[in-house]
Amino acid sequence: MTKEQIKQTIIEQILEIAPDIEEDEIIPDENLQRSLEIDSFDFLRVLTELYEKLGVEVPEADYGKVDTLEHMTDYFAQRHK
Amino acid sequence: MSKFLMPSLGADMESAVLMEWMVKEGDHVTKGQVVAEVETSKGVIEIEVFEEGIVEKIMVDPETECDVGTPLAMIRSINEEPLKDEKKSVFKTVQPSPEAELEQEPVDEIEVPEENLQKRIKISPAARKKARELGVDLDALSSKAKGTIHISEVETAATLKGKAPVAEDGMRQAIAKAMSRSNTEIPHYYLSSSINMSPALEWLEQLNSKRSIKDRILPAALLIRAVVQAVEEIPELNGFWKDGSLHMSEAVNPGIAIALRKGGLITPALLNAQEMSLDKTMQALSDLISRTRAGKLRGSELTQQSITITNLGDLGVERVYGVIYPPQVALVGLGHIIETPWAENDALSVQKVMQATLAGDHRATDGRTGALFLDKLNQFLQRPEELL
Protein backbone atom coordinates (compact mmCIF):
# COMPACT_ATOMS: atom_id res chain seq x y z
CA MET A 1 0.00 0.00 0.00
CA THR A 2 1.38 3.41 -0.93
CA LYS A 3 1.60 6.28 1.52
CA GLU A 4 -1.19 8.04 -0.35
CA GLN A 5 -3.43 4.97 -0.01
CA ILE A 6 -2.68 4.81 3.70
CA LYS A 7 -3.61 8.46 4.03
CA GLN A 8 -6.88 7.83 2.20
CA THR A 9 -7.64 4.85 4.46
CA ILE A 10 -7.13 7.05 7.52
CA ILE A 11 -9.37 9.78 6.07
CA GLU A 12 -12.07 7.23 5.30
CA GLN A 13 -12.03 5.98 8.88
CA ILE A 14 -12.30 9.49 10.27
CA LEU A 15 -15.23 10.31 7.99
CA GLU A 16 -16.91 7.08 9.00
CA ILE A 17 -16.72 7.99 12.69
CA ALA A 18 -17.66 11.64 12.14
CA PRO A 19 -19.95 11.80 9.12
CA ASP A 20 -20.54 15.52 9.57
CA ILE A 21 -16.90 16.33 8.81
CA GLU A 22 -15.95 17.31 5.26
CA GLU A 23 -12.75 15.86 3.88
CA ASP A 24 -11.26 19.34 3.37
CA GLU A 25 -11.79 20.14 7.07
CA ILE A 26 -9.04 17.69 7.95
CA ILE A 27 -5.95 19.90 7.98
CA PRO A 28 -2.86 17.65 7.70
CA ASP A 29 -0.85 19.28 10.49
CA GLU A 30 -3.63 20.06 12.96
CA ASN A 31 -4.36 18.00 16.05
CA LEU A 32 -7.07 15.59 14.91
CA GLN A 33 -8.89 15.22 18.20
CA ARG A 34 -9.05 18.91 18.98
CA SER A 35 -9.73 20.34 15.53
CA LEU A 36 -12.38 17.79 14.63
CA GLU A 37 -13.82 17.33 18.12
CA ILE A 38 -13.07 13.61 18.19
CA ASP A 39 -13.26 12.33 21.76
CA SER A 40 -11.06 9.62 23.23
CA PHE A 41 -13.69 7.01 22.55
CA ASP A 42 -13.94 7.84 18.84
CA PHE A 43 -10.17 8.14 18.57
CA LEU A 44 -9.77 4.61 19.90
CA ARG A 45 -12.39 3.46 17.40
CA VAL A 46 -10.42 5.01 14.53
CA LEU A 47 -7.23 3.28 15.72
CA THR A 48 -9.03 -0.04 16.15
CA GLU A 49 -10.43 0.15 12.62
CA LEU A 50 -7.01 1.07 11.24
CA TYR A 51 -5.51 -1.90 13.05
CA GLU A 52 -8.03 -4.17 11.32
CA LYS A 53 -7.31 -2.59 7.93
CA LEU A 54 -3.54 -2.07 8.12
CA GLY A 55 -2.44 -4.52 10.78
CA VAL A 56 -0.56 -1.88 12.77
CA GLU A 57 -1.34 -1.47 16.44
CA VAL A 58 -0.63 1.89 18.05
CA PRO A 59 0.33 1.44 21.71
CA GLU A 60 -0.92 4.16 24.05
CA ALA A 61 2.63 5.36 24.57
CA ASP A 62 2.74 6.31 20.87
CA TYR A 63 -0.43 8.42 20.83
CA GLY A 64 1.75 11.51 20.61
CA LYS A 65 3.09 10.24 17.28
CA VAL A 66 -0.36 9.93 15.70
CA ASP A 67 -1.83 13.27 16.74
CA THR A 68 -2.19 14.78 13.25
CA LEU A 69 -3.13 13.31 9.88
CA GLU A 70 0.43 13.83 8.67
CA HIS A 71 2.02 12.13 11.67
CA MET A 72 -0.49 9.31 11.60
CA THR A 73 0.17 8.66 7.90
CA ASP A 74 3.94 8.57 8.55
CA TYR A 75 3.48 6.28 11.53
CA PHE A 76 1.42 3.72 9.63
CA ALA A 77 3.53 3.99 6.47
CA GLN A 78 6.69 3.15 8.41
CA ARG A 79 5.21 0.12 10.10
CA HIS A 80 2.86 -1.21 7.46
CA LYS A 81 4.16 -4.22 5.55
CA MET B 1 -55.28 -8.98 27.39
CA SER B 2 -53.39 -5.79 27.98
CA LYS B 3 -52.74 -2.66 26.05
CA PHE B 4 -49.21 -1.74 25.04
CA LEU B 5 -49.06 2.03 25.31
CA MET B 6 -46.76 4.69 23.87
CA PRO B 7 -44.34 5.09 26.79
CA SER B 8 -43.13 8.39 28.14
CA LEU B 9 -39.43 8.54 27.33
CA GLY B 10 -38.65 11.47 29.58
CA ALA B 11 -40.69 13.93 31.54
CA ASP B 12 -40.96 16.37 28.67
CA MET B 13 -42.07 14.03 25.97
CA GLU B 14 -45.65 14.57 24.83
CA SER B 15 -45.73 12.46 21.70
CA ALA B 16 -43.56 10.45 19.37
CA VAL B 17 -43.79 8.99 15.91
CA LEU B 18 -44.14 5.25 15.69
CA MET B 19 -41.64 4.46 12.94
CA GLU B 20 -41.57 0.72 12.59
CA TRP B 21 -42.89 -2.44 14.16
CA MET B 22 -40.28 -5.12 14.85
CA VAL B 23 -43.03 -7.68 15.52
CA LYS B 24 -46.21 -8.65 13.72
CA GLU B 25 -49.59 -9.87 14.84
CA GLY B 26 -49.38 -13.40 16.19
CA ASP B 27 -45.74 -13.07 17.30
CA HIS B 28 -44.68 -14.32 20.69
CA VAL B 29 -42.94 -11.59 22.70
CA THR B 30 -40.90 -11.89 25.88
CA LYS B 31 -40.31 -9.46 28.70
CA GLY B 32 -37.85 -6.76 27.67
CA GLN B 33 -38.09 -7.52 23.94
CA VAL B 34 -37.81 -4.60 21.56
CA VAL B 35 -41.08 -4.44 19.65
CA ALA B 36 -41.01 -1.11 17.87
CA GLU B 37 -38.97 1.93 16.99
CA VAL B 38 -40.26 5.39 17.72
CA GLU B 39 -38.76 8.70 16.82
CA THR B 40 -38.55 11.39 19.47
CA SER B 41 -36.59 14.57 19.86
CA LYS B 42 -33.82 12.32 21.20
CA GLY B 43 -33.59 10.31 18.02
CA VAL B 44 -34.90 6.89 17.15
CA ILE B 45 -35.61 4.87 20.28
CA GLU B 46 -36.33 1.16 20.50
CA ILE B 47 -39.22 0.49 22.83
CA GLU B 48 -39.63 -2.69 24.82
CA VAL B 49 -42.55 -4.68 26.21
CA PHE B 50 -42.53 -5.52 29.87
CA GLU B 51 -44.62 -8.67 29.81
CA GLU B 52 -44.66 -11.95 27.99
CA GLY B 53 -47.44 -12.75 25.55
CA ILE B 54 -48.73 -12.84 22.01
CA VAL B 55 -49.17 -9.73 19.87
CA GLU B 56 -52.92 -9.92 19.35
CA LYS B 57 -53.46 -6.77 17.41
CA ILE B 58 -51.38 -3.90 16.09
CA MET B 59 -53.38 -0.73 16.44
CA VAL B 60 -51.12 1.92 14.95
CA ASP B 61 -49.57 1.99 11.50
CA PRO B 62 -45.94 2.98 10.98
CA GLU B 63 -45.22 6.69 10.66
CA THR B 64 -48.06 7.74 12.93
CA GLU B 65 -47.56 10.39 15.55
CA CYS B 66 -49.02 9.22 18.87
CA ASP B 67 -49.45 10.98 22.19
CA VAL B 68 -47.91 9.38 25.28
CA GLY B 69 -50.37 6.79 26.56
CA THR B 70 -51.90 5.97 23.17
CA PRO B 71 -52.58 2.23 22.87
CA LEU B 72 -50.21 0.89 20.21
CA ALA B 73 -50.98 -2.82 20.38
CA MET B 74 -52.89 -5.44 22.31
CA ILE B 75 -50.84 -8.13 24.03
CA ARG B 76 -52.56 -11.35 25.02
CA SER B 77 -51.06 -13.41 27.78
CA ILE B 78 -50.06 -16.96 26.85
CA ASN B 79 -53.03 -18.76 28.43
CA GLU B 80 -55.67 -16.32 27.21
CA GLU B 81 -57.98 -17.16 24.29
CA PRO B 82 -57.42 -15.13 21.14
CA LEU B 83 -60.07 -12.62 20.06
CA LYS B 84 -61.90 -14.70 17.49
CA ASP B 85 -64.41 -12.44 15.81
CA GLU B 86 -62.21 -9.42 15.27
CA LYS B 87 -59.12 -11.29 14.32
CA LYS B 88 -59.63 -11.90 10.62
CA SER B 89 -61.07 -8.52 9.84
CA VAL B 90 -58.36 -6.47 11.49
CA PHE B 91 -55.53 -8.63 10.35
CA LYS B 92 -53.58 -6.93 7.68
CA THR B 93 -49.98 -6.92 6.79
CA VAL B 94 -48.43 -3.70 7.90
CA GLN B 95 -46.27 -2.77 5.00
CA PRO B 96 -44.12 0.24 5.68
CA SER B 97 -44.17 2.65 2.77
CA PRO B 98 -40.92 2.92 0.81
CA GLU B 99 -40.45 6.33 2.36
CA ALA B 100 -40.68 4.88 5.86
CA GLU B 101 -38.00 2.39 5.07
CA LEU B 102 -35.83 5.12 3.72
CA GLU B 103 -36.12 7.07 6.90
CA GLN B 104 -35.47 4.21 9.28
CA GLU B 105 -32.58 2.64 7.49
CA PRO B 106 -30.00 2.38 10.28
CA VAL B 107 -27.04 2.48 7.93
CA ASP B 108 -26.00 5.56 6.16
CA GLU B 109 -26.57 4.47 2.64
CA ILE B 110 -29.87 3.94 0.97
CA GLU B 111 -30.27 2.27 -2.33
CA VAL B 112 -32.29 4.31 -4.74
CA PRO B 113 -32.77 3.08 -8.27
CA GLU B 114 -32.18 6.10 -10.42
CA GLU B 115 -32.02 6.37 -14.17
CA ASN B 116 -30.01 3.51 -15.51
CA LEU B 117 -27.46 3.22 -12.74
CA GLN B 118 -27.89 2.23 -9.15
CA LYS B 119 -27.08 5.32 -7.17
CA ARG B 120 -26.77 5.48 -3.41
CA ILE B 121 -27.68 8.48 -1.36
CA LYS B 122 -24.85 9.02 1.05
CA ILE B 123 -26.11 11.12 3.89
CA SER B 124 -25.32 11.56 7.55
CA PRO B 125 -28.08 10.44 9.95
CA ALA B 126 -28.44 13.95 11.33
CA ALA B 127 -28.80 15.37 7.84
CA ARG B 128 -31.47 12.85 7.02
CA LYS B 129 -33.43 13.79 10.13
CA LYS B 130 -33.09 17.45 9.23
CA ALA B 131 -34.24 16.75 5.68
CA ARG B 132 -37.38 15.17 6.99
CA GLU B 133 -38.04 18.05 9.38
CA LEU B 134 -37.57 20.60 6.65
CA GLY B 135 -39.28 18.63 3.93
CA VAL B 136 -36.26 18.50 1.66
CA ASP B 137 -36.43 16.02 -1.21
CA LEU B 138 -33.36 13.81 -0.82
CA ASP B 139 -33.47 12.37 -4.32
CA ALA B 140 -33.33 15.82 -5.84
CA LEU B 141 -30.59 16.89 -3.46
CA SER B 142 -28.47 13.79 -4.02
CA SER B 143 -28.44 14.26 -7.78
CA LYS B 144 -26.70 17.59 -7.21
CA ALA B 145 -24.56 16.70 -4.21
CA LYS B 146 -21.10 15.29 -4.50
CA GLY B 147 -20.12 12.86 -1.77
CA THR B 148 -21.97 12.58 1.49
CA ILE B 149 -24.84 14.97 2.13
CA HIS B 150 -24.42 16.96 5.34
CA ILE B 151 -26.74 19.09 7.42
CA SER B 152 -25.49 22.32 5.87
CA GLU B 153 -26.49 21.18 2.38
CA VAL B 154 -29.92 20.15 3.58
CA GLU B 155 -30.41 23.53 5.21
CA THR B 156 -29.23 25.35 2.12
CA ALA B 157 -31.63 23.31 0.01
CA ALA B 158 -34.46 24.16 2.41
CA THR B 159 -33.66 27.87 2.29
CA LEU B 160 -33.57 27.82 -1.49
CA LYS B 161 -36.98 26.25 -1.46
CA GLY B 162 -38.18 29.21 0.56
CA LYS B 163 -38.63 27.12 3.65
CA ALA B 164 -36.63 28.61 6.47
CA PRO B 165 -35.08 26.07 8.83
CA VAL B 166 -37.37 25.37 11.74
CA ALA B 167 -36.15 27.43 14.68
CA GLU B 168 -37.54 25.05 17.24
CA ASP B 169 -35.26 22.12 17.58
CA GLY B 170 -36.99 19.41 19.57
CA MET B 171 -33.97 18.31 21.55
CA ARG B 172 -33.00 21.89 22.46
CA GLN B 173 -36.54 22.47 23.69
CA ALA B 174 -36.54 19.29 25.77
CA ILE B 175 -33.22 20.21 27.37
CA ALA B 176 -34.49 23.74 28.01
CA LYS B 177 -37.58 22.50 29.81
CA ALA B 178 -35.77 19.98 31.99
CA MET B 179 -32.98 22.36 32.96
CA SER B 180 -35.38 25.23 33.76
CA ARG B 181 -37.35 22.90 35.96
CA SER B 182 -34.16 21.74 37.65
CA ASN B 183 -32.92 25.22 38.41
CA THR B 184 -36.34 26.33 39.63
CA GLU B 185 -37.09 23.34 41.83
CA ILE B 186 -33.81 21.88 42.98
CA PRO B 187 -31.75 23.67 45.63
CA HIS B 188 -28.33 22.59 44.39
CA TYR B 189 -25.19 22.40 46.50
CA TYR B 190 -21.78 21.98 44.92
CA LEU B 191 -18.62 20.31 46.20
CA SER B 192 -15.30 19.84 44.51
CA SER B 193 -12.27 17.75 45.25
CA SER B 194 -8.80 17.31 43.68
CA ILE B 195 -8.01 13.70 42.90
CA ASN B 196 -4.50 12.54 42.06
CA MET B 197 -5.04 10.39 38.99
CA SER B 198 -1.41 9.41 38.40
CA PRO B 199 -1.61 6.04 40.20
CA ALA B 200 -4.79 5.06 38.37
CA LEU B 201 -3.53 6.19 34.96
CA GLU B 202 -0.19 4.43 35.40
CA TRP B 203 -1.98 1.28 36.43
CA LEU B 204 -4.28 1.54 33.40
CA GLU B 205 -1.36 2.10 31.06
CA GLN B 206 0.31 -1.04 32.40
CA LEU B 207 -2.89 -2.98 31.92
CA ASN B 208 -3.44 -1.69 28.39
CA SER B 209 0.13 -2.31 27.29
CA LYS B 210 -0.47 -6.04 27.75
CA ARG B 211 -3.69 -5.97 25.79
CA SER B 212 -4.72 -5.89 22.15
CA ILE B 213 -6.10 -2.55 20.96
CA LYS B 214 -9.59 -4.06 20.87
CA ASP B 215 -9.55 -4.76 24.60
CA ARG B 216 -8.12 -1.46 25.76
CA ILE B 217 -9.81 0.34 28.61
CA LEU B 218 -10.30 4.10 28.40
CA PRO B 219 -9.89 6.25 31.51
CA ALA B 220 -13.57 7.19 31.11
CA ALA B 221 -14.59 3.59 31.81
CA LEU B 222 -12.35 3.42 34.87
CA LEU B 223 -13.85 6.65 36.17
CA ILE B 224 -17.41 5.43 35.65
CA ARG B 225 -16.57 2.20 37.44
CA ALA B 226 -15.12 4.18 40.36
CA VAL B 227 -18.20 6.43 40.55
CA VAL B 228 -20.48 3.39 40.53
CA GLN B 229 -18.50 1.75 43.34
CA ALA B 230 -18.56 4.94 45.39
CA VAL B 231 -22.29 5.39 44.81
CA GLU B 232 -22.88 1.87 46.10
CA GLU B 233 -21.30 2.95 49.38
CA ILE B 234 -23.23 6.22 49.47
CA PRO B 235 -26.62 5.14 48.09
CA GLU B 236 -28.39 8.37 49.07
CA LEU B 237 -27.04 9.99 45.92
CA ASN B 238 -28.44 7.30 43.67
CA GLY B 239 -32.18 7.71 43.30
CA PHE B 240 -35.06 10.07 42.81
CA TRP B 241 -36.82 12.90 44.57
CA LYS B 242 -40.52 12.09 44.26
CA ASP B 243 -43.55 13.29 46.22
CA GLY B 244 -41.47 15.14 48.75
CA SER B 245 -39.09 12.35 49.67
CA LEU B 246 -35.98 10.53 48.52
CA HIS B 247 -36.41 7.16 46.86
CA MET B 248 -33.09 5.37 46.61
CA SER B 249 -32.57 3.11 43.63
CA GLU B 250 -31.22 -0.42 44.07
CA ALA B 251 -29.81 -0.51 40.58
CA VAL B 252 -27.06 1.93 39.76
CA ASN B 253 -28.01 3.25 36.34
CA PRO B 254 -25.67 6.16 35.71
CA GLY B 255 -26.80 8.43 32.90
CA ILE B 256 -23.69 9.13 30.86
CA ALA B 257 -23.67 12.55 29.23
CA ILE B 258 -22.86 11.95 25.59
CA ALA B 259 -22.54 14.93 23.30
CA LEU B 260 -23.87 14.46 19.83
CA ARG B 261 -21.62 15.77 17.13
CA LYS B 262 -22.79 19.24 16.19
CA GLY B 263 -25.27 19.91 18.88
CA GLY B 264 -27.38 18.34 21.56
CA LEU B 265 -26.72 16.02 24.41
CA ILE B 266 -28.21 12.77 25.59
CA THR B 267 -27.61 11.06 28.90
CA PRO B 268 -28.64 7.45 28.35
CA ALA B 269 -28.28 5.04 31.26
CA LEU B 270 -25.66 2.36 31.62
CA LEU B 271 -28.21 -0.02 33.10
CA ASN B 272 -27.22 -2.07 36.17
CA ALA B 273 -23.66 -0.80 36.15
CA GLN B 274 -23.24 -2.13 39.70
CA GLU B 275 -23.07 -5.65 38.22
CA MET B 276 -20.31 -4.84 35.74
CA SER B 277 -16.59 -5.54 35.98
CA LEU B 278 -14.21 -2.97 34.51
CA ASP B 279 -14.07 -4.82 31.19
CA LYS B 280 -17.83 -5.10 31.09
CA THR B 281 -18.16 -1.39 31.90
CA MET B 282 -15.89 -0.54 28.96
CA GLN B 283 -17.82 -2.80 26.58
CA ALA B 284 -21.17 -1.48 27.74
CA LEU B 285 -19.94 2.10 27.45
CA SER B 286 -18.68 1.52 23.88
CA ASP B 287 -21.95 -0.02 22.96
CA LEU B 288 -23.94 2.78 24.57
CA ILE B 289 -21.94 5.53 22.88
CA SER B 290 -22.16 3.86 19.47
CA ARG B 291 -25.89 3.37 19.77
CA THR B 292 -26.41 6.91 21.03
CA ARG B 293 -24.59 8.36 18.04
CA ALA B 294 -26.46 6.05 15.68
CA GLY B 295 -29.78 6.98 17.30
CA LYS B 296 -30.48 3.44 18.51
CA LEU B 297 -31.31 3.63 22.18
CA ARG B 298 -33.82 1.65 24.19
CA GLY B 299 -36.70 3.22 26.04
CA SER B 300 -35.45 1.94 29.40
CA GLU B 301 -32.09 3.63 28.84
CA LEU B 302 -33.79 6.99 28.57
CA THR B 303 -36.02 6.69 31.60
CA GLN B 304 -34.14 4.83 34.30
CA GLN B 305 -31.09 6.98 35.01
CA SER B 306 -30.53 7.14 38.76
CA ILE B 307 -27.56 9.57 38.78
CA THR B 308 -25.74 11.49 36.03
CA ILE B 309 -22.03 11.44 35.19
CA THR B 310 -20.70 14.18 32.97
CA ASN B 311 -17.18 14.22 31.70
CA LEU B 312 -16.13 17.32 29.82
CA GLY B 313 -12.49 16.41 30.25
CA ASP B 314 -11.87 15.91 26.55
CA LEU B 315 -12.57 19.57 25.97
CA GLY B 316 -10.06 20.73 28.54
CA VAL B 317 -12.60 21.95 31.09
CA GLU B 318 -11.23 21.61 34.59
CA ARG B 319 -14.37 21.76 36.69
CA VAL B 320 -17.95 20.93 35.81
CA TYR B 321 -20.70 22.38 37.98
CA GLY B 322 -23.64 20.47 36.59
CA VAL B 323 -27.37 20.93 36.67
CA ILE B 324 -29.16 17.93 38.15
CA TYR B 325 -31.59 16.18 35.84
CA PRO B 326 -34.88 15.84 37.75
CA PRO B 327 -36.07 13.65 39.40
CA GLN B 328 -32.47 12.54 40.03
CA VAL B 329 -30.73 13.95 43.09
CA ALA B 330 -27.08 14.16 42.08
CA LEU B 331 -24.71 14.78 39.24
CA VAL B 332 -21.01 13.91 39.20
CA GLY B 333 -18.78 16.13 37.10
CA LEU B 334 -15.34 14.96 36.01
CA GLY B 335 -12.91 17.52 34.70
CA HIS B 336 -9.87 17.48 32.48
CA ILE B 337 -6.88 15.69 33.94
CA ILE B 338 -3.97 18.12 34.08
CA GLU B 339 -0.41 17.99 35.31
CA THR B 340 -0.08 20.10 38.38
CA PRO B 341 2.26 20.61 41.35
CA TRP B 342 1.21 18.30 44.15
CA ALA B 343 2.39 18.40 47.74
CA GLU B 344 2.23 15.14 49.64
CA ASN B 345 4.29 13.68 52.51
CA ASP B 346 6.40 16.84 52.76
CA ALA B 347 7.45 16.54 49.14
CA LEU B 348 6.46 18.43 46.05
CA SER B 349 6.01 16.64 42.76
CA VAL B 350 4.10 16.95 39.50
CA GLN B 351 1.06 14.73 39.28
CA LYS B 352 -1.88 14.21 36.94
CA VAL B 353 -4.82 15.71 38.79
CA MET B 354 -8.55 15.71 38.13
CA GLN B 355 -11.20 17.89 39.72
CA ALA B 356 -14.24 15.84 40.64
CA THR B 357 -17.36 17.82 41.47
CA LEU B 358 -20.65 16.81 42.91
CA ALA B 359 -23.90 18.68 42.41
CA GLY B 360 -26.35 17.49 45.03
CA ASP B 361 -30.03 18.11 45.66
CA HIS B 362 -30.11 19.68 49.10
CA ARG B 363 -33.65 18.45 49.70
CA ALA B 364 -32.41 14.85 49.47
CA THR B 365 -28.93 15.03 50.98
CA ASP B 366 -26.56 17.38 52.78
CA GLY B 367 -23.06 18.43 51.94
CA ARG B 368 -21.70 15.83 54.32
CA THR B 369 -23.15 13.01 52.17
CA GLY B 370 -21.61 14.59 49.11
CA ALA B 371 -18.26 14.95 50.85
CA LEU B 372 -18.29 11.28 51.85
CA PHE B 373 -18.98 10.36 48.26
CA LEU B 374 -16.06 12.39 46.87
CA ASP B 375 -13.81 10.87 49.53
CA LYS B 376 -14.87 7.34 48.55
CA LEU B 377 -14.34 8.15 44.88
CA ASN B 378 -10.84 9.33 45.66
CA GLN B 379 -10.09 6.19 47.68
CA PHE B 380 -11.21 3.90 44.85
CA LEU B 381 -9.10 5.78 42.34
CA GLN B 382 -6.03 5.41 44.56
CA ARG B 383 -6.53 1.64 44.52
CA PRO B 384 -7.51 1.05 40.89
CA GLU B 385 -6.80 -2.69 41.03
CA GLU B 386 -9.90 -3.03 43.16
CA LEU B 387 -11.96 -1.66 40.28
CA LEU B 388 -11.26 -4.63 38.00
A23 contacts on B by Cβ (under 8 Å): 147
ipTM of the assembly?
A: 0.83
Task: Please state, in angstroms and rounded to a whole number, the distance separating the CA atoms of residues B15 and B48.
Answer: 17
Task: Please state, in angstroms and rounded to a whole number, the distance separating the CA atoms of residues B147 and B49.
Answer: 40
**Which of B340 and B63 is assigned the larger pLDDT?**
B340
pLDDT for the residue numbered A17: 85
Residues 294-323 of chain B with CB under 8 A from chain A are: 314
pLDDT tens profile B175-226: 888 888 898 999 999 999 999 999 999 999 999 999 999 899 999 999 999 9
Kindly report the number of other CB atoms within 10 A of residue B208's CB atom: 17
Average pLDDT for B87-116: 41
DSSP assignment of B54-71:
EEEEE-S-TTEEEETT-E
* pLDDT value at B361 more than 50: yes
Do B249 and B239 touch, CB atoms closer than 8 A? yes
Sequence ranges of the domains in chain A: 3-79
Look up the CATH architecture of domain A3-79: Orthogonal Bundle (1.10)
Query: Please, what is the angle between helix B367-382 and helix B198-209, to 10°?
Result: 40
Q: Tell me which chain B residue has its CA closest to the CA of residue A33.
A: B314
Could you tell me if B70 lies within 8 Å of chain A, comparing CB atoms? no
Q: How many residues does chain A have?
A: 81
Of the pLDDT bands very low, low, confident and very high (cuts 50, 70, 90), residue B16 is confident
The verdict on pTM exceeding 0.80 is no
Could you tell me if B208 lies within 8 Å of chain A, comparing CB atoms? yes
In order of start, what are the domains of chain B with their CATH numbers? 2-98 (2.40.50.100), 105-160 (no CATH), 172-387 (3.30.559.10)
Chain B interface, mutation test: which of A42, A60, A66, most B Cβ atoms within 10 Å? A60
Task: Please state, in angstroms and rounded to a whole number, the distance separating the CA atoms of residues B117 and B135.
Answer: 26
Chain B interface, mutation test: which of A8, A12, A20, A79, most B Cβ atoms within 10 Å? A20
pLDDT tens profile B70-85: 899 999 888 777 665 4
Respond yes or no on whether the N-terminal peptide bond of residue B327 is cis (omega within 30° of 0): yes
Task: Please state, in angstroms and rounded to a whole number, the distance separating the CA atoms of residues B46 and B294.
Answer: 12
